[in-house]
Chain A
Amino acid sequence: MTAPINAQAVMDFLKPRMGARFKTWVNICTHCGMCADTCHFYLANNKNPKMIPSYKVRFLKDILKKKGRVDRAYLEEIYKTVYYECNVCRRCSLYCPFGIDIAYLIYVLRALLNSQGLAPEGLARTVLDYKEFGNQMAITDEEWLETLEWCKEETADELVGLDIPIDKKGAKILYTVNAREPKFYPQDIMEMAKIFHVAGEDWTFPSRKGWDATNLAMFMSDTETAREVASNTFKRAEELEVKQIVVTECGHAYRSLCYEAPLWLGYTPKQPVVHSVELFLDYLKEGRIKLREKLKEPTTVQDPCNIIRNGGLAEKNRLLASMVSEDFRPMKNQGNYNFCCGGGGGAMPMGGEMKKHRLASGKIKAEQIRETGAKIVLVPCHNCIDQIRDLITEYKIDAKAVHFKEVIAEHMVIPKEMTPKED
């Protein structure tokens, strides 16, 4: 347990990461405590001082002082803090009077752990699949294409002329999904195909790797794999000469392609990356999609950290939610200052080891949802939606969580020429 760690290796790893900003951030913190109340872990755990964000990054200063001479047990203590007590949601960073990006420092610690071979099994396992298959669930190209064909068959009798284009050169949109959609939730693909069809969109899926836009390597700070995963998508976009890349209702996929990929790749790809929330909002605003009726039951909307605080879509998300609802009830702190659900930063794919921690920290989100009285929670992120569904059960909330695409596909007006004729 307390096997020594190569101190030189630790320092060699940290050195190139210790630029001016990093040094300032590590040294400037006065432990004023302004970040304490911003953290859902701190609030949900009876204001346990160990959960104060600035305390969680104490290790960095300490390691530098010790010149990297730490042992395995010490790294395991870091692991518990940076994985079990933080969703890297970045809410604390917004409140720091010095502008210290605490979440970034957590990522540096995760990267250090990864360099020493310490990463959550649930995340590390997906890295192997990303490398071999280009997606996080070991789906082969053949299985991917067969699933798309099947999705088309299953929906063909609902909409006349529905197609799922593959490798359509020059299409406007390259659509990318989360591997869980073809693997376990093909209805997500079917709903999106219907929306594209009704909107008259010019879109395509790629036939080869690049279609899975998720990037779980990012959460364990495995930049090398993260770069490879993101570059798959941009390669397909280049080859197919599309105008833009649209990402499914996934939070971290959008952030990784839109904001992190340029840093990993060393250049800014020419195809803009668009989240489904933005696309749906445009469709509704432009009248390309019209709703037969709005949701009648009271609704609220989750602000996934990676598309809102870290993605700039706060206003669009809120507007879209209000456009599909008759009785939209924003959460307290709706928008950039909303709380994390407790499922972010890799918490969901970490699996069992994280479960009790995320259910506990999710108490804040559960209370927020309950307070609105909403019966439907709109959730444009896969990890958020799974977590919120678990919270609904755990905290006995009378509500259900849905993606926007499900609501839109169900409530949109189907033009006459697309309506199947009754026999």
Chain B
Amino acid sequence: MPTVEFEGKTFNVDEDGFIDDFNNWNDSWMRHVKQTEGIEEITDEHIKVVNVLQDYYKKNGIAPMVRILSKVTGFKLKYIYELFPSGPGKGACKMAGLPKPTGCV
């Protein structure tokens, strides 16, 4: 399994660069994904999205639909894409430490 070294920490990642285990997630991982996703700065809004994704994942074991993400954060779809240019299923899930969604994605 490939690994990523960042800020002195080592993360195991899958082929798409998603963290292998949700439990190994930490703030350094967020800053790593910020770099790879070309996000300028991690704002409170990014953190809000990450928290919602993580809470939902802990309860349900899968990523939420973007509708739920929008409803709980109060962010419009366009704004979620401004925060995460590669989209909610890719960039946002990656930053939150969720596994890569399955199916045609």
Answer yes or no: A115 CB below 8 A from chain B CBs.
Answer: no
0/1 per residue, B63-84, Cβ < 8 Å to A? 0011110110000110000000
A35 to B76, CA, bound (A): 51
B84 → A minimal CB distance (Å): 11
- Which stretch from B4-12, B23-31, B42-50, B95-103 is at the chain A interface? B95-103
B68 → A minimal CB distance (Å): 8
**Are the CB atoms of B16 and A183 closer together than 8 Å?**
no
Answer yes or no: A327 CB below 8 A from chain B CBs.
Answer: no
Given known A138-B62, A352-B15, A355-B15, contact A382–B104 (CB-CB < 8 A): yes
Would you mind naming 19 contact pairs between A and B with Cβ atoms under 8 Å apart? A126-B103, A137-B101, A137-B102, A138-B62, A143-B65, A143-B67, A143-B68, A150-B70, A150-B71, A182-B65, A182-B67, A184-B87, A186-B67, A214-B104, A216-B103, A250-B104, A349-B103, A351-B14, A351-B15
Answer yes or no: B89 CB below 8 A from chain A CBs.
Answer: yes
Specify the main secondary structure of chain B where it touches its partner.
loop
**Are the CB atoms of A179 and B104 closer together than 8 Å?**
yes
Q: Which residues of chain A come closer than 8 Å to B87, judged between CB atoms?
A: 184-185
Q: List residues of chain B with CB under 8 Å of any chain A CB.
A: 14-16, 62, 65-68, 70-71, 76-77, 87-89, 100-105
Query: Which residue of the partner chain, among B62, B67, B76, B104, contacts A348 with CB atoms under 8 Å?
Result: B104
Q: Which residues of chain A come closer than 8 Å to B65, judged between CB atoms?
A: 139, 143, 147, 182-184
Query: Which residue of the partner chain, among A143, A150, A216, A355, contacts B104 with CB atoms under 8 Å?
Result: A216
**Are the CB atoms of B105 and A180 closer together than 8 Å?**
yes
**Are the CB atoms of B104 and A180 closer together than 8 Å?**
yes
Q: Which residues of chain B come closer than 8 Å to A349, judged between CB atoms?
A: 102-105
Q: Which of A136, A150, A178 has the most CB of B within 10 A?
A: A150
Answer yes or no: A386 CB below 8 A from chain B CBs.
Answer: yes
A119 → B minimal CB distance (Å): 14
Q: Which residues of chain A come closer than 8 Å to B66, judged between CB atoms?
A: 147, 183-186
A36 to B89, CA, bound (A): 38
Q: Which residues of chain B come closer than 8 Å to A183, judged between CB atoms?
A: 65-66, 89, 101, 105
Measured as residues with beta carbon below 8 angstroms from the partner, the interface class of chain A is 35 or more
Query: Which residue of the partner chain, among A146, A179, A186, contacts B103 with CB atoms under 8 Å?
Result: A179
Answer yes or no: A87 CB below 8 A from chain B CBs.
Answer: no
B42 → A minimal CB distance (Å): 21
Which residues 96-143 of A have a CB within 8 angstroms of B?
122, 125-126, 129, 136-139, 143
Q: List residues of chain A with CB under 8 Å of any chain B CB.
A: 122, 125-126, 129, 136-139, 143, 146-147, 150, 154, 178-180, 182-187, 214, 216, 250, 348-349, 351-353, 355-356, 382-383, 386
A207 to B66, CA, bound (A): 19
Beta-carbon nearest neighbor of B1 in chain A: A352
Given known A136-B104, A386-B105, contact A180–B89 (CB-CB < 8 A): yes
**Are the CB atoms of B104 and A383 closer together than 8 Å?**
yes
Q: Which residues of chain A come closer than 8 Å to B62, judged between CB atoms?
A: 138
A139 to B101, CA, bound (A): 13
Q: Which residues of chain B come closer than 8 Å to A180, judged between CB atoms?
A: 89, 103-105
A236 to B32, CA, bound (A): 46
A353 to B70, CA, bound (A): 32
Q: Which residues of chain A come closer than 8 Å to B68, judged between CB atoms?
A: 143
Q: Which residues of chain B come closer than 8 Å to A356, judged between CB atoms?
A: 15
Given known A147-B65, A355-B15, A355-B16, contact A184–B76 (CB-CB < 8 A): no
B63 → A minimal CB distance (Å): 8
Q: Which residues of chain B come closer than 8 Å to A184, judged between CB atoms?
A: 65-66, 87-89, 101, 105
B104 → A minimal CB distance (Å): 5
Q: Which of B16, B66, B100 has the most CB of A within 10 A?
A: B66
**Are the CB atoms of A351 and B104 closer together than 8 Å?**
no
Additional A-B contacts beyond A180-B89, A186-B77 (5; CB < 8 A): A150-B70, A184-B101, A214-B103, A355-B16, A383-B104
A346 to B8, CA, bound (A): 38
Beta-carbon nearest neighbor of A178 in chain B: B104
A129 to B102, CA, bound (A): 11
Q: Which of A125, A178, A184, A250 has the most CB of B within 10 A?
A: A184
Q: Which residues of chain B come closer than 8 Å to A136, judged between CB atoms?
A: 103-104
